[in-house]
Amino acid sequence: MVMDMEITAAVLRDGDAPYSLERIELGGPGAGEVLVRIAAVGMCHSDALLRSQAFGAKLPIIPGHEGAGIVESVGAAVDGVKRGDHVVLTFDSCGLCRNCTENRPALCTAGRERNMVGWKADGSSTATGTDGAPIGSRWFAQSSFATHAIATSRNVVVVDPKLPLHVLAPLGCGIQTGAGAVLNSLDVQPGSSLAVFGAGAVGLAAVLAAVVAGAETIVAVDLHLERRELAVEFGATHVVDGAADDVARQVRKLTNGGADYAIDATGVPRVAETAIASTRVGGACALAGVLTGPLSLKPMALTGKSVTGVLEGDSVPQEFIPRLIDLWSAGRLPIERFIEQFPLSAINDAEEASLSGRVVKPVLIPG
């Protein structure tokens, strides 16, 4: 039986304040859970949304949901994962609802409660601060901005121990979402056209996946010149400055009347509206970013178009993450080119670098 242990974690106590690095007491893994020593954890835009309470998660909380590390112990009723395994942490699912039993865990009907609340169902937590007060430690069933995290047997994916965990960590959410939007949600076909709005980690993963899918025309839209240039290096055939006042018109011209497929990876309502407007009649648009507000559409904006909200790239992590690893190993998903490592102690610098657009994907190294 694993007893409580002392760990170091980055805690968000106030939406307007910096992260604080704190000593935390963490309970051991219960039934169906595993204790993971975190080797690396990506910083995702969804972590920053905790500051605005967009998900309704109660503070204080330990964010982090792109963890990767080594299993130190397992609780009861855990199959397929053992002590010493190298794992990538991803989203959680119940395994029991209709969508889960139909092999669609990204659409788990308990997905919000299991991932975006950050606390146990009864409002309790296995983590406490030095003052004895509880701290949310179940963000995406991991809260991995820490030296250790409790995950579940369903949200860990065992990987080859020879692979670099700091590169694999972002596969758990951002890369999985962008690549999955192309390969799973939209099922982009060879010879087609795709417009990607937002060339951050999710959008660049979408560009790379579009090349894998055989798309003929790939348009990347972003505010940052450096990211547009990187998108071209990754296979985009055209780029558009997101600050232009005629983005939709430019995309439609580049795609001969409208893109067969479009992806919004920003979550900005105005950008999502432009993505929809850039899609041809008969085409499909995927909203892969977490929307930060309501959409305002003209009456005919959706006529003949399919628009879908995408969760985690509609992936089955135990199947899709190994596929992404194979693509990376073959040199077709070079995500290491937009990763920059930061020590966990520099988490506030990493967040600033991410929000300013200076760094595409910060990856924190706990120690």
Domains of the chain: 5-172+334-365 (3.90.180.10), 178-311 (3.40.50.720)
The predicted structure's pLDDT at residue 85: 98
Please compute Rg for the chain using Cα positions.
Answer: 20
Cα–Cα separations (whole angstroms), residue 253 to 57, 197, 204: 42, 16, 22
The pair of three-digit structure tokens given for residue 58, joined into one six-digit string:
């109660």
CA distances from 58 to 13, 66, 243, 281 (A): 9, 20, 35, 42
| Helical axes 225-233 vs 201-213, angle rounded to 10° | 20
Percent of the chain with pLDDT over 90: 93
The pLDDT of residue 166 is above 80:
yes
Tens digit of each residue's pLDDT (9 = 90 or more) over 278-316: 999 999 999 999 898 999 999 899 999 999 999 999 999
Determine the average pLDDT of the residues in 317-342: 98
Contact at 8 Å (CB) between 359 and 337?
A: no
- Confidence class for position 168, pLDDT limits 50, 70, 90: very high
Question: Mean pLDDT across the chain, nearest whole number?
Answer: 96
Q: pLDDT digit string (tens) for 81-134?
A: 999 999 999 999 999 999 999 999 999 999 999 999 999 988 889 999 999 999
Q: What is the pLDDT of residues 175-184, one digit of tens each?
A: 999 999 999 9
Say what the pLDDT of residue 1 is.
43
- Looking at residues 307-331, what average pLDDT do you find? 98
Both tokens of 30, joined, read 């219960």
Q: What is the pLDDT of residue 264?
A: 98
- Can you name the residues that pair with 309 across neighbouring β-strands? 287
- What's the pLDDT score for residue 56? 79
> Mean of the pLDDT values across residues 142-168?
98
Q: pLDDT exceeding 70 applies to what percent of the chain?
A: 99
Q: Which parts of the chain fold into alpha helices (H)?
A: 45-49, 98-101, 111-115, 165-168, 174-180, 201-213, 225-233, 247-254, 269-278, 317-329, 347-355
User: Picking from 37-46, 47-56, 224-233, which range would have the lowest pLDDT averaged per residue?
Assistant: 47-56
**What mean pLDDT is predicted for residues 61-78?**
97
- Answer for the pair 317, 176: CB distance below 8 angstroms, yes or no: yes
pLDDT recorded at residue 308: 96
The model's confidence at residue 3, banded by pLDDT at 50, 70 and 90, is low
- Which phi-psi region, left, alpha or beta, contains residue 225 (left: φ > 0; alpha: ψ -120 to 50)? alpha
pLDDT of residue 4: 86
pTM of the shown model: 0.96
Neighbours of 189 (CB within 10 A): 13
